[in-house]
Amino acid sequence: MRVIAGTAGGIPLRLPKTELRPTMDMVRGAIFSSLGEAAVGARVLDLFAGTGSLAIEALSRGAQSATLVEADRKACTVIAENLKQTRLEANILCMDVFRFLQNEGGSGAFDLIFADPPYVKDAGARDFAAELLRNTGVLGALEEHGLLVLEVGQRWVLPECPEWECVRRKRYGSTETLFLRKVLIDNVS
């Protein structure tokens, strides 16, 4: 696993010795190809950050700033090591994503939000992706014309969420990537 492009292009990234599932280079490359220049100057939030690869890729490609939120302490240590290796700077918060959103949501502070929550493996298991889309904190954290890039398993069903518009959905092996925008309500009387 490595940074694909930008100032840190080609630099290898460490993986934590945990059960985390990092975003593969091919998927990350496709995400950033779809984003085009959207990462340049963006304020980035990386939820369920894992290795930090999505935020690091964004920073390498010219993002203004990044905040990475990850609950696993070993993963947070690896994120810090990956940032040091790439000579990039970001804010790492080692805490639960939903607690972060409860405290920080509503600021509209981010242009791009990446989220790679644990996939639903069994029927009845907690669906972090659906929970995230229903969370008002993530809506509030995203700038009005911002973009949420959500990674899910290939059989994941997008729940009815009138607050979100899926503008692109692409499958790469067992991963699907959704590009979502907030549905803006016109204040016309």
Lowest mean pLDDT among 43-52, 65-74, 80-89, 112-121: 112-121
List the Cα angle 184/188/189 in 5-degree steps.
140
How far apart are the C-alpha atoms of 25 and 180, rounded to whole Å?
21
Question: What is the pLDDT averaged over residues 110-118?
Answer: 94
How far apart are the C-alpha atoms of 176 and 77, rounded to whole Å?
27
pLDDT of residue 188: 41
**DSSP bridge pairs for 65:** 43
pLDDT in tens, 56-99: 999 999 999 999 999 999 999 999 999 999 999 999 999 999 99
Question: What is the pLDDT averaged over residues 164-185?
Answer: 88
CA distances from 27 to 22, 34, 126, 150, 152 (A): 10, 11, 24, 12, 12
How far apart are the C-alpha atoms of 46 and 19, rounded to whole Å?
18
Please answer whether residues 147 and 112 qualify as being in contact, where contact means their C-beta atoms are separated by less than 8 angstroms: yes
Please answer whether residues 171 and 144 qualify as being in contact, where contact means their C-beta atoms are separated by less than 8 angstroms: no
pLDDT of residue 157: 81
For every residue of 42-107, DSSP letters joined together read -EEEEET-TT-HHHHHHHHTT-SEEEEE-S-HHHHHHHHHHHHHHT---EEE-S-HHHHHHHHTTS
pLDDT of residue 20: 62
Positive or negative torsion for Cα 157, 163, 167, 172: negative
- Where do the domains of the chain lie? 25-182
pLDDT of residue 171: 87
pLDDT of residue 19: 65
151: pLDDT confidence band, cut at 50, 70 and 90?
Answer: very high
Neighbouring residues of 128: CB distance < 8 A, sequence distance ≥ 6: 48, 97, 117, 118, 120
Please answer whether residues 52 and 90 qualify as being in contact, where contact means their C-beta atoms are separated by less than 8 angstroms: yes
CATH number for the segment(s) 25-182 = 3.40.50.150
Task: Give 123 or 79, the one with higher predicted confidence.
Answer: 79
Please give the model's pTM, rounded to 2 decimal places.
0.90
